[in-house]
Amino acid sequence: MKVIGWVERLTPFDRKLLVVVAVLVALSFLLPLRQNAGARVVVSSDDRIVFVASLDKDQRVELDGPLGITILQIENGAARIISSPCSQKICIGMGEARYSGDLLACVPNQLVITIEGNSDGEDAEYDFISR
Amino acid sequence: MTSSVVDPLELEQVRRRVFLALFVALAVALHTVEVLLPNPLPWFRIGLANILALAALFSYGIQALWIVSISRILIGSLLLGSLFSPGFLLSLGGGFAANLLMSSGYKLWQTKIGPVGVSVLGALGHVTGQLLIAWLIVIRHPSIWMLLPFFLLFALISGIVNGLAADYLLGSLYKHPAFAGLKAKYATRDSVQD
């Protein structure tokens, strides 16, 4: 069977419908379905919160971990790790965290950086268990 | 069957009942097999059982579609032990949305639309209905809608596959004398299948 043989089994209307549906599906990828940008950066180490800052304010922070100092940069509403004493630098490779719920972690240096809150001001509901 | 002495209308009704029962049985079997298949992502299902719902729709009309798909969901979930669980509600919500879209598509463009067109409408309805139910009762978080484009893309592909399967099935069913009365109806569509 030819690769396009199946098209011949469709009615002419089906073909038009398929084209329309395919275009709609492609367009759905452009829908603004992204989560809300977060409001705060929360850094915890060993289950304790060691640092909290707003995402609005650009700054560079030195975070202390067992291995040494990890540098976190907050810029343009996103947080990223730009320097870390760990060996594999996975945390640097994680890129930037911008949306509520995003997470950066440096496991060797025991740092977990999460984005919380909602930039729209009103705090987002947590989840359906804690509500 | 003592078909020679039975009045043809009654024979047609008996045939309808028997074939619908067979369609439901096959749909339940496919539903069960599909759950057993390894699945890369929890909610991505091909929806093979819908092939039988499509066959019922094109053979016996909209009422038959609803009978086959709702019975399939109820019996299938009962067999798998998921009746009234969240997964069952997802199935049911998806099934309702799919049936609504398939019935209206079939009703609106009855002479023009084929199994593939109806199947794609159904698949899109199914994922949308499922996500709606998932959002309403399982995960009350708007970010779940981020999945929608991926689900729709997958539904488009699986819808085409199921529609083609249904088309082949209908094509071979209508070669059988038991479906002689229905063949004429199917052949009045724009494009005549082999």
Pairing outcome for strands A96-97 and A111-116: unpaired
Q: Rounded to a whole number, what is the distance in Å from the CA of A8 to chain B's nearest CA?
A: 9
Task: Decide if A4 touches B, using CB distance below 8 A.
Answer: no
Enter the ipTM. 0.80
**Among A22-36, A62-76, B33-47, B172-186, where is mean pLDDT lowest?**
B172-186
Q: Which residues of chain A lie closer than 8 angstroms to B113, CB-CB?
A: 11, 13-14, 17
The answer on pLDDT for A78 being more than 80 is yes
Task: Decide if B120 touches A, using CB distance below 8 A.
Answer: yes
**Percentage of chain B modeled with pLDDT above 70:** 85
Q: A35 and B152 in contact by Cβ < 8 A?
A: no
Q: A125 and B141 in contact by Cβ < 8 A?
A: yes
Kindly identify which residue of chain A lies nearest to residue B159, measuring between CA atoms: A18
| A50 phi and psi angles, rounded to 5 deg | -105, -15
The answer on pLDDT for B68 being more than 50 is yes
pLDDT at A124: 46
Domains of chain B: 8-187 (1.10.1760.20)
Q: Which residues of chain B lie closer than 8 angstroms to A123, CB-CB?
A: none
Cα-Cα-Cα-Cα dihedral of A116, A121, A125, A130, to 10°?
70
Task: Give the SS3 label for residue A63.
Answer: strand
CATH topology of domain A40-116: mini-chromosome maintenance (MCM) complex, domain 2 (2.60.320)
Q: A13 and B164 in contact by Cβ < 8 A?
A: no
Burial B68-97 (b: 16+ CB within 10 A, else e): bbbbbbbbbbeebebeeeebbbbbbbbbbb
Q: B149 and A28 in contact by Cβ < 8 A?
A: yes
- Residue A59, class by beta-carbon neighbours within 10 Å (0-12 exposed, 13-18 middle, 19+ buried)? exposed
- Residue B171, class by beta-carbon neighbours within 10 Å (0-12 exposed, 13-18 middle, 19+ buried)? middle
pLDDT at B186: 59
